[in-house]
A and B are shown apart, each in its own frame.
Chain A
Amino acid sequence: MNYEIIYDFLTQPKIAIAKIKAERPWLLPFLVVTFAFFTQSLSVLQFYIKGERNILFFLGTFLLLRIFLIVIILFLLSAFFHSFAQLLGGQGRTEELFLSLGFSFSPLFFLLPAGIFLHFLEVTQLISKIWLIFFLYNFLNFLLFFWILYLQILSIKEIYSLSVGQAIWVYFLPFFIFLAIGLILVTILIFSIVFLFR
C-alpha cells in the first residue's frame, strides 16, 4: 500500500488526487475513514465523557455505526456529486471521487496530538480556565471541518476538471436538495398532525 498518498493528501492534495486517479488504492481510504473516525471518537470521549464508565459501550456502538454510516453516505454523495458534475460538463469517474472523499478525512488525525497537547495545558495549569480548553478544542474542530471541506471540493474540482465555482456548486447542491425535501416533508408532517388533531 502506498501510504504516501495520505501524507500527500495533506501536503500536496492535487498531486495526491492525481495518484488516486492513477493507482485507485481501494483499501487505504477505508483505513483512513476508520482511523479518522476512531480518532475523532476517542477525542470526543477524552473531552466530553469524563467520569463516565460506559466508555467501551459508547466507543464500540457509536464508532461502528458511524463508520458504517459514513461509508454509506460517502457512497451516496459520490453518486450525487458525479451526477451534478456531469450535468455541469465535468468528466471523471465516481470511484475516483469516492476514494478521494475517503482520503479527505485525513485531517482528523490531528485531533489526537492536539487533544494530548490540550490535556497537557490543562494538567500543567498553563491554561487554568477550563472553558478556554474547550473553546480551543472546538475551534480546532472548526478548522479541521473547513480543511476537510476544502479537500472534498478540491477532489470534485480535480477529478471532474471543473472550475472552483462549479465544484462548490456541485458540492452544495445535494445539501440544498436534501434541505428542500426535508422542509417539504416537515411541512407535510406538521399539516398532517394539525389535520389529525384538530
Chain B
Amino acid sequence: MEKKNLLLGLIFLYFFCLIATIYLILQQAGKTVPEPALQKWKMFPKEAIAILRIYGPIGLSHGFGFPVGVDVDRLIKRLQDLREKPEIKAVVLKINSPGGSVGSVQEIYSEIKKLRQKGKIVVASLGDVCASGGYYLACVADKIVANPGTLTGSIGVILELANLEELFKKIGVKIETIKSGKHKDIGSYARTLTPEEKEIFQNLINDAYEQFINSISEERNLKRDKVLQFADGRIFTAQQGLKLGLVDRLGTTEEAINLAAELAGMKGKPKVITEFEPWEKILDLFSRYSERKKISFPDILREQKVRFEYILE
C-alpha cells in the first residue's frame, strides 16, 4: 500500500512538472527578443549577412557552351527568401559574371531592388569579371567593392544573328517560310536582314541600352552624360572604374562583408550565411554533370538564332 501511495505521488509530481515545463516553454516562446546570453545557443542568429553568388552567364545555364551559369529561378527564389528573413540585415552579392540575357538580368535586378526597399543593405563584391549584365546587377547595390584587377564595364547591349544564307545556297538547301506578317521571320538565319529589319533591331538595342544607362545613372548617382562617355562597350579594370564612379572601393570579399556589416550597423564579427544548403550543393554537382552533353547542329542553330544580351564578348 505504501508503495502504491509513493507511486501515485510520483505520477502526480510528473504531471505537475509536465504542466510547469509546458508553461515555461510557452513563456519563452512568447518572448520576441530572446535574452542575449542565449543567442549563441540558438539555432539561428539574430543578425546575419547572407552571401549570394552570381557566377557565370546569367540566364543561359542550360544552353550551349556554358557548362556553369546562373540558375535564374533559384537565384530569384533565394532573393525572395532573404527578403522575408528578419535576421538577414545585409546581403553581399559575389558577382563573377560577364552578363547575360536582358530579361533575366532585369528580373534579378528588380529582386535586388526589392531587397533594398525592404531595408536590407546590399553590397556587391566583384570577382574576376563583372561586366555588362553582371555590372547591371552590381549597380543596384548600396556599395560596390572590387579587386583592383577585376574586369568591369562593357556597358551595352548586343544582339547577334546568324546568317547562313550563303551556306544554304552552297549545299542546296532552301527554307520556305509562310508567315502571318512581314516581320514574323525577322532574324531568320536563312536570309540577310532587310534595311527595315536592321532598323527595327537597332531600335530594340537602343531601347535596352537606354534602360541600362538610366539604371546606372539612377543607381550610381552619375549624370547621364557622364555615363554615356564610357558606356560604349569598353571594359575597365576596377581601378579605372573607381575613377569613373563605377566602383566605390577596392577590396576583397572579406572587406565587402565588413562594409556590409558596418552599413547595417552590426556590431562585432558578423555571422555569415552562405546561400547554398548542403543538399543544394549535391544537386548542383549533378546538374553540372548533366550539362556536359553534346548538342546537335539544329540545337546550335536554335541557340544562335537570336542573342539579345547584356554580355561581355
Contacts and interface: CB of A to CB of B under 8 A. Distances in A.
B113 to A, nearest CB: 30
A3 interface: yes
Interface in B7-44: 7, 10-11, 13-14, 17-18, 20-22, 24-26, 28-29, 31-35, 37-38, 41-43
A196 interface: yes
Interface in A57-112: 109, 112
Interface stretch (A113-121, A141-149, A158-166, A178-186): A113-121
B41 A48 contact: yes
Contacts of A42: 18, 21-22, 25
A39 B13 CA distance: 13
B29 A55 contact: yes
B66 interface: no
Contacts of A48: 41-43
B14 A50 contact: no
A47 B41 CA distance: 9
Contacts of B269: none
B178 interface: no
Contact of A55 (B7, B20, B25, B33): B25
A4 B4 contact: yes
Contacts of A196: 289
B6 interface: yes
A50 B34 contact: yes
A3 B7 CA distance: 8
Interface range for B: 20 to 34
Contacts of B3: 4, 7
A50 B4 contact: no
Contacts of B10: 7
Interface centre among A48, A52, A134 (most CB of B within 10 A): A52
Given A3-B7, A51-B38, A112 B18 contact: yes
Interface string A2-18: 01101100000000000
Nearest to A114: B17
B25 A112 contact: no
A197 interface: yes
Nearest to B292: A197
A4 B18 CA distance: 20
Nearest to A45: B25
B219 to A, nearest CB: 37
A7 B7 contact: yes
Contacts of A3: 7, 11
B122 to A, nearest CB: 27
A39 B18 CA distance: 8
A173 interface: no
Contacts of A134: 41
A177 interface: no
A130 B24 CA distance: 17
A7 B11 CA distance: 10
Contacts of A113: 13, 17
Given A42-B25, A50-B34, 13 more contacts: A7-B3, A47-B41, A49-B28, A49-B43, A50-B41, A50-B42, A51-B28, A51-B42, A55-B29, A115-B21, A116-B20, A134-B41, A197-B289
30 contacts: A3-B7, A4-B7, A6-B7, A7-B3, A7-B10, A42-B18, A43-B21, A46-B21, A46-B25, A46-B28, A47-B41, A49-B28, A49-B42, A49-B43, A50-B41, A51-B28, A51-B32, A51-B34, A51-B42, A52-B43, A53-B29, A55-B26, A109-B14, A112-B17, A112-B18, A112-B21, A113-B13, A116-B20, A134-B41, A197-B285
Interface of B: 3-4, 6-7, 10-11, 13-14, 17-18, 20-22, 24-26, 28-29, 31-35, 37-38, 41-43, 285, 289
Interface of A: 3-4, 6-7, 39, 42-43, 45-53, 55, 109, 112-113, 115-116, 119, 130, 134, 196-197
